[in-house]
Amino acid sequence: MATPLVPVSLPTWAWERADVRQALRGRDVAAVFRYVQQYSGASQARIAAAVGMTQARVNEIINRRREVSRLDVYERIADGLNMPDDARHLLGLAAGRERRSGGAAFDLAAFPEVVRVYSAQASAKEEIQQQVRTAKELDVLAVRGLGLVGLNDSMLRPHLVRQNGGLRVRVLLLNPEAPALALRAAEIGESAESLAGGVRLAEARLRELAGICDIEVYRYGMLPTWRLIRADSTLFVGAFDAGWEGHESATYKVMHTPHGPLFRGFQRMFEAMAAGAERTV
């Protein structure tokens, strides 16, 4: 009787690392196996048992004396390493058969670009800061942005100025003179004067960075729907709605994938809004 295969499990964050995702895109199984060893502590024998190979074969692959080329072997590796659907897509495979429970909004099998869901921005704070800390591009779509970039103790402001530069920042804020601002103020139970004052304060504080940071600030005029933070190929998305502010919304971590529409769609929306907005900084 054949011994049943027991998958190796990696922490969720390991599949989200840029180095692991690059190895998956390149179908570099040698690198994938090494990362599995590094992030799960699994031995070559344990990996071999999980993916239906001999230890000698795993050793040959890790040391690049043998390559994987057959689709069924990739499938076996994906199953044996318990890859999430986003990782399977990067490897060029279809999603797994099992679907996650927890409601439609948390069904990550249906949305392979969405790799994590946070209950609110506060839960994602450390992850967002970590991504921004090493990013080369940062896009922010907000209403007034004080909690994100406008004040000294804002979540992202300490990471906007770097000793060696290298970060391009674009911030879209709601035009304090647009009719949409009064509508948004009414939605959250705030006076239009107070909300407009917050936008102007954020602009003034961001203008202070213009000489020491590659920053552009724009005013858009439409009623906001999405709140975006993009750090290179990682996007954090929340929603504006009546009764709550964007940072109170569930926050979705969206990764760029070769075939996924979400990241590209949100990025296209941001570019279109920037193109039609008034630049103030």
- Residue 100 pLDDT: 42
Query: How far is it, in rounded angstroms, from Cα 117 to Cα 22?
Result: 22
Burial code (b: 16+ CB inside 10 Å, e: under 16) for 185-223 equals bebbeeeeeebbebbeebbebbeebeeeebbbbbbbeee
- Residue 3 pLDDT: 44
Rg (CA), the chain: 22
pTM over 0.85: no
List of domains in the chain:
12-101 (1.10.260), 114-279 (3.30.870.10)
Each residue's pLDDT expressed in tens, for the chain with a length of 281 residues: 344 467 898 988 899 888 898 899 888 999 999 999 999 999 999 999 999 999 999 999 999 999 888 888 888 999 899 998 888 888 877 776 544 444 444 444 445 688 788 888 888 899 999 999 889 999 999 999 998 998 888 999 888 887 667 889 999 999 999 999 999 999 989 999 999 999 999 999 999 998 888 999 999 999 999 999 999 999 999 988 877 777 778 888 998 887 778 899 999 999 999 999 999 99
DSSP 194-218: HHHHHHHHHHHHHHTTTTTSEEEEE
- Residue 112 pLDDT: 66
